[in-house]
Amino acid sequence: MAETRLAVIEREASERAARRLMAQAREALPPELAYLADGLMAEAVVKAVEFSRHSVSETTEKIYADDWNAFRAWCAARKAPALPAHPVVVASYLSERSEKMGRSGLRLILAAIAFYHRRSGHNWTSADPTISTVMRSILRQQQRPIRPAAALASAEIIKLLRVCAPKKGAEPSLADLRDRALLLTCFAGGLRRSELVALDVEDLKISHDGIKLKIRRSKADQEGEGAVVLIGSGSRPETCPVAAMRAWLKAGAITYGPVFRRLTAAGAIEGRLTGNGVWRVLRRRAAQAELTVEDGERLSPHGMRAGYITEAYLNGALDEQVMAHARQKSIETTRRYRNRAKTVAASPTKLLNL
């Protein structure tokens, strides 16, 4: 029986993917061992390459790919080798990019270059003296202060929720219901935005007492072991994460797939909301609520996670409780939030006789 057009397309796509993997396998081997990619070890080498492609999350790999492609194009325009890249070439690239990019962006470029070198089997390190010396000089000259995400605690979340409420007598829009559920879930769950947008309906177990979230993968869980986060019901209907989630899922008729979805200007539901989409929701609602942050800080979805942890400490939570809920593996990370909470709660001026 002749193949259908769809079957032909699928077979050709599979063959193209196999050829790409084989080419990557050849690149990953030293020249003197390249023959292994076509010999008896071919299948094993291709599998190893496939596993290496998933050593980081899809989001991280996409970010790395963008930076790596930009670096390769820059090298090609100057007829310089990108793989392996000489430390002088990398240092020169960083020097040029430093005119428009800060420290976090430059460090991300280095991470991307190192990732692609390691994946191709090159013993390459960004700690080379030529690169590290130039980086230290760049960072010293930039002298740009680090702007942490402003902690958005309950008071700020409530302000944001107020602008998600309809006018008196009107029905809430889908955007209002989605944004309420999004803000409350992110804050009460202490979630990273990547974890928030990755949630599927199948990851939720909703009961009268709360919501059990299954986090399949996160920034601190690249192996995909997964974690469970429990969100309890709120004391008031207008700030209850469970009620907000139920209302959104019911109004959107969402019974499977992504929990948080994009909405058109007309209110039609589309595909999965992205991390940037969460940032746009927060920025829009903060503008409506006239919510501002202190100088030296920035408005960011991470602020909801930071606000949860900070407020938990202010209310007497223990390190182990915070670490378990926020899925933090380093006590040092947890203590930074605890120190921030202490700063908020205990200003030295309270000791003065004023």
What pLDDT is attached to residue 337?
64
- Which range is least confidently modeled, 233-237, 303-307, 314-318? 314-318
- Compute the distance between CA of residue 93 and CA of residue 99 in angstroms, rounded to an integer: 11
User: If you average pLDDT over residues 177-198, what whole number do you get?
Assistant: 91
Could you tell me the pLDDT band of residue 354, with boundaries at 50, 70 and 90? very low
Name the band, by pLDDT with cuts 50, 70 and 90, for residue 306. confident
Return phi, psi of residue 149, to 5°. Answer: -65, 130
Collapsed DSSP state (helix, strand, coil) of residue 215: strand
From CA 126, how far away is CA 107, in angstroms rounded?
10
- Write down the pTM of the prediction: 0.63
Q: Which residue has the higher pLDDT, 351 or 38?
A: 38
Q: Give Cβ neighbours of residue 240 (< 8 Å, ≥ 6 apart).
A: 184, 233, 234
> Given this model, what pLDDT does residue 350 score?
46
Give all domains of the chain, ordered by start, each with its CATH number.
20-54 (no CATH), 66-144 (1.10.150.130), 154-345 (1.10.443.10)
Mean pLDDT, residues 159-166 taken together: 89
- DSSP-assigned letters across all residues of 149-172: BPP--HHHHHHHHHTTSPPTTSPP
End-to-end CA distance of the chain: 92
What percentage of residues in the chain have a pLDDT greater than 70? 72
pLDDT confidence tier of residue 290, bands split at 50, 70 and 90: very high
Identify whether the C-beta of residue 312 lies closer than 8 Å to the C-beta of residue 321: yes
pLDDT digits (tens, 9 = 90+) for 90-130: 999 989 888 887 777 888 888 999 988 887 777 788 888 88
Quick: pLDDT tens for 29-59: 556 565 665 665 666 766 666 665 555 666 6
Percent of the chain with pLDDT over 90: 25
Residue 223 confidence (pLDDT)? 54
Identify the H or E element spanning 24: helix 5-28
pLDDT at 7: 67
Give residue 84's pLDDT. 86
Checking DSSP bridges between strand 210-215 and strand 269-272, what pairing results, if any? unpaired
